[in-house]
C-alpha cells in the first residue's frame, strides 16, 4: 500500500484485514524503507483512507 505524499510518504506491506470508519486495517504489517529494508510493526495498523494512493492485491 502506497500513501499519498510523494517519495517520502510511507509504504506498507501486510494483510488487508478490514475497512472501518474511514480507515483501512492492516495486520502483519511491515513498513517498507528503501527497496530492501522492512520494519515489522506490532499489532494492527490503521491507515486513513484519504491518505491511500495505491493498494496492490497479490
Rounded to two decimals, what is the model's pTM? 0.82
Q: In sequence order, what are the beta bridge partners of 30? A: 13, 40
Q: Is the confidence at residue 6, as pLDDT, over 90?
A: no
pLDDT one-digit tens code per residue, 15-53: 999 999 999 999 999 999 888 899 999 999 999 999 999
Pairing status of strand 45-48 against strand 52-54: unpaired
pLDDT one-digit tens code per residue, 17-26: 999 999 999 9
Give me the chain's average pLDDT, please.
93
Place of cell 529494508: 37
Residue-level pLDDT at 24? 96
Going from N- to C-terminal start, the domains of the chain cover 2-54
3-state SS assignment for residue 17: strand
| Residue 56 vs residues 16, 50: alpha-carbon distances, Å | 10, 16
Amino acid at each position: 500500500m502506497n500513501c499519498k505524499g510523494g517519495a517520502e510518504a510511507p509504504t506498507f506491506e501486510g494483510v488487508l484485514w478490514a475497512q472501518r470508519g474511514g480507515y483501512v486495517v492492516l495486520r502483519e504489517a511491515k513498513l517498507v524503507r528503501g527497496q530492501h529494508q522492512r520494519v515489522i510493526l506490532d499489532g494492527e495498523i490503521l491507515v486513513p483512507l484519504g491518505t491511500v494512493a495505491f493498494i496492490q492485491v497479490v
